[in-house]
Amino acid sequence: MKKIKLYIAASIDGYIAGLDGSLDWLSEYPITPELNYGYDQFFESIDTVIMGGKTYRDILNMDVIYPYESKISYIITRNQINNSKENLHFITDNIIENIGDLRKKQGKDIWLVGGGELISMLLDHDLIDEMIITYVPTLLGDGIPLFPKIRKESNWKLINSQSYENGVLTVIYQRIV
């Protein structure tokens, strides 16, 4: 069975974006060939990405090439979107059931890209197996929280942590079943 892994950057006060959805605060900590915070290794371990509709639209508005073209993408959205790309699928209903079915497919693991509402929904249904959170040494004070409105308690085991000279800290947690 595939694992669903949340791999995300957060401020040290627990936000994944500014109030307006801005990610400008991450620009001082880019992923580079010399310092990629484990991204390259992680990216090779997955063949599927899942993200919320707002996260997908934010990526499209960044004026960059879609970064997950080599993976199968599932966008969770309330709005039906016309699509002509083979590796891009939209889930508009039966979200939990459909994501549960994705876990049963053969292949590599699944990357839960974001956003906060989708993260909380999947946590509430025990569908996240691992969390890889890269904490950036920035306080945003307010914004889009990493874990908004979680309704269910869950327990996690620290698997690994890695600190970097620039103050960034990556932690890996595994859900305790």
Q: What is the pLDDT of residues 46-71, one digit of tens each?
A: 999 999 988 888 888 777 788 899 99
Is the whole-model pTM more than 0.95? Answer: no
How high is the pLDDT of residue 97? 96
Which pLDDT belongs to residue 57? 83
Report whether the peptide linkage leading into residue 14 is cis, meaning its omega lies within 30 degrees of zero: no
Sheet holding 130-136, edge to edge: 88-91, 72-76, 46-52, 109-114, 4-11, 130-136, 169-175, 156-163
